[in-house]
């Protein structure tokens, strides 16, 4: 009789190889998901930082349109590097932070806008805007977004172009 069959060693080796392959795939998928989440958080942080700069630009441009006020009007109170200022997309003025920025998280409302009004869902992001007047015609805007034990810093120089 000539029967072909697998030995116990062959079966154990096959099970071991399949297990290693499955665990490798699982590890790769888990790492990919983690990387995607981190990249998404960095993108959101960069957009929130850019929004902070745009809010400052809006105040500066409103000062230009007004004409009767200095181009830095409403921007000089944000020079404290520890606290800085905060501002929502629907506000017209910066507010000086009175608490540590990390303890002042942004919330996302049902429309998908980030705000400080504690409506909607609390996020892992917080933002600090610091403005340093360099000269009569130049200022440096630094926006730091904190998230998941990381931070994203965006700095931009604004000028009195009038």
Tens digit of pLDDT for each residue in 21-44? Answer: 898 888 888 888 888 889 999 999
Considering the domain boundaries, does residue 116 fall inside one?
yes
pLDDT tens for each residue of 86-115: 998 888 899 998 877 667 899 999 999 999
Considering the domain boundaries, does residue 102 fall inside one?
yes
Considering the domain boundaries, does residue 1 fall inside one?
no
Structural domain containing residue 89: 8-159
Q: pLDDT tier at 4 (50, 70, 90 boundaries)?
A: low
Greater model confidence, 100 or 123: 123
pLDDT tens for each residue of 69-86: 889 999 988 888 888 999
Considering the domain boundaries, does residue 74 fall inside one?
yes
Considering the domain boundaries, does residue 2 fall inside one?
no
Considering the domain boundaries, does residue 32 fall inside one?
yes
**Percentage of the chain exceeding pLDDT 70:** 94
CA distances (Å), origin 30, targets 24, 34, 69, 75, 147: 10, 6, 55, 45, 21
CA dihedral 100, 102, 103, 109 (to 10 degrees): 130
Burial of 85 (C-beta count, 10 Å sphere; 0-12/13-18/19+): buried
The answer to whether 71 and 160 have CB atoms below 8 angstroms apart is yes
Residue 16 contacts by C-beta under 8 Å, 6 or more apart in sequence?
none
The pTM (predicted TM-score) of the whole model is 0.80
Taking all residues of the chain, what is their mean pLDDT, rounded to a whole number? 89
Ranges of beta strands (E only) in 35-104 are 85-86, 95-96
- Give the strand pairing for 95-96 and 85-86: antiparallel
Residue 120 contacts by C-beta under 8 Å, 6 or more apart in sequence?
107, 108, 109, 110
Instruction: Kindly state the average pLDDT of the residues 130-154.
Output: 94
Q: pLDDT tier at 66 (50, 70, 90 boundaries)?
A: confident
Considering the domain boundaries, does residue 3 fall inside one?
no
Indicate the number of domains in the chain.
1
Instruction: Kindly state the average pLDDT of the residues 109-129.
Output: 91
What does the block give as tokens for 146?
């904190």
């Amino acid at each position: 009789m000539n029967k072909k069959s697998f030995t116990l060693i062959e079966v154990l080796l096959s099970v071991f190889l399949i297990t290693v392959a499955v665990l490798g795939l699982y590890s790769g998928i888990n790492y990919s998901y983690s990387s995607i989440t981190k990249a998404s958080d960095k993108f959101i942080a960069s957009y929130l930082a850019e929004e902070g700069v745009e809010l400052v630009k809006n105040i500066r441009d409103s000062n230009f349109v007004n004409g009767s006020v200095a181009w830095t009007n409403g921007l000089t109170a944000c020079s404290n590097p520890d606290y800085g200022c905060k501002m929502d997309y629907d506000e017209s003025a910066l507010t000086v932070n009175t608490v540590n920025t990390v303890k002042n998280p942004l919330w996302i409302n049902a429309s998908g806008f980030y705000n400080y009004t504690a409506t909607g869902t609390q996020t892992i992001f917080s933002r600090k805007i610091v403005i340093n007047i360099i000269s009569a015609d130049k200022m440096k805007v630094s926006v730091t977004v904190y998230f998941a034990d990381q931070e994203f810093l965006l700095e931009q120089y604004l000028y009195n172009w009038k």
